[in-house]
């Protein structure tokens, strides 16, 4: 018989802790009632939380039982996807290749800070599951290009190239992800988007997150 004092986690301000609430949700889940907890995936914020919840469940369960599949968020995303999260430097290189060496290409010393802003915008679009074309339709204005204190007729060639690249963002977004996808790669934000849109591969009946 399990020790009653070890069945819950320390409360905060006399309220159940987060892990207590997760533990109760697992114990009350239909898959627990049918002794099929191995068909349940539980997503937690850290490996430490996973270890604590695993111990809590072992204290609560009676008799032999398979535990749920535990994942930290980043691990869950990758385990659920046929793609691998690309290294940020690889993503930067791929974007540089996609931009190419046309007349619109920025000098490399200006490309890097520009690319970091662009990749942050791409990630935000994916996290929000937003329509890429609509979001980037007026992104040049959002980024403040219109606030330059001189008219377009006075822009330097670099500034004109900079503005043209902003106008190409929907195209660059599509080409970047196509380039990564050919090698089984994706940005972490794009992995999250694909999972949210139902392209996951995890073999479970329910995800508790």
* pLDDT greater than 70 at residue 92: yes
Do 44 and 99 lie in one domain? The reply is: no
Do 61 and 144 lie in one domain? The reply is: no
pLDDT of residue 85: 92
What's the domain count of the chain? 2
Encoded tokens for 127: 């996290």
* pLDDT greater than 50 at residue 62: yes
Do 48 and 110 lie in one domain? The reply is: no
User: Does residue 191 belong to any structural domain of this protein?
Assistant: no
Alpha carbon distance 56, 7 (integer Å): 6
Residue 43 belongs to what domain range?
4-82+200-208
Alpha carbon distance 7, 146 (integer Å): 60
Do 108 and 181 lie in one domain? The reply is: yes
Confidence of residue 87 (pLDDT cuts 50, 70, 90): very high
User: Does residue 49 belong to any structural domain of this protein?
Assistant: yes
Q: 155, 163 in Cβ contact below 8 A?
A: yes
Q: For 197, which DSSP code?
A: T
Do 44 and 131 lie in one domain? The reply is: no
Query: What is the CA 102 to chain-centroid distance, rounded?
Result: 32
Do 94 and 179 lie in one domain? The reply is: yes
Alpha carbon distance 173, 195 (integer Å): 18
User: Does residue 194 belong to any structural domain of this protein?
Assistant: no
Rg (CA), the chain: 24
* pLDDT greater than 60 at residue 157: yes
Do 67 and 94 lie in one domain? The reply is: no
User: Does residue 192 belong to any structural domain of this protein?
Assistant: no
């Amino acid at each position: 018989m399990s020790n009653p004092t070890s069945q819950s986690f320390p409360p905060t301000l006399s309220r159940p802790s987060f892990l207590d609430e997760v533990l109760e949700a697992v114990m009350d889940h239909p898959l627990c009632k049918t002794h099929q907890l191995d068909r349940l995936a539980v997503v937690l914020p850290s490996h430490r939380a996973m270890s604590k919840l695993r111990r809590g469940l072992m204290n609560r369960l009676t008799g032999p039982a398979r535990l749920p599949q535990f994942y930290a968020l980043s691990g869950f995303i990758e385990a659920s996807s046929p793609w691998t999260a690309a290294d940020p430097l690889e993503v930067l290189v791929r974007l540089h290749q996609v931009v190419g060496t046309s007349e619109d290409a920025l000098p490399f010393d200006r490309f890097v800070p520009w690319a970091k802003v662009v990749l942050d915008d791409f990630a935000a679009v994916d996290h929000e599951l937003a329509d890429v074309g609509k979001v980037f339709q007026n992104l040049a204005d959002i980024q403040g290009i219109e606030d330059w204190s001189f008219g377009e007729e006075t822009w330097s060639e670099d500034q004109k190239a900079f503005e043209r690249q902003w106008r190409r963002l929907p195209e660059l977004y599509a080409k970047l992800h196509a380039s990564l996808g050919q090698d089984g790669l994706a940005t972490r934000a794009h992995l999250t988007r694909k999972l949210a849109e139902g392209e996951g591969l995890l073999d479970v009946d329910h995800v508790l997150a």
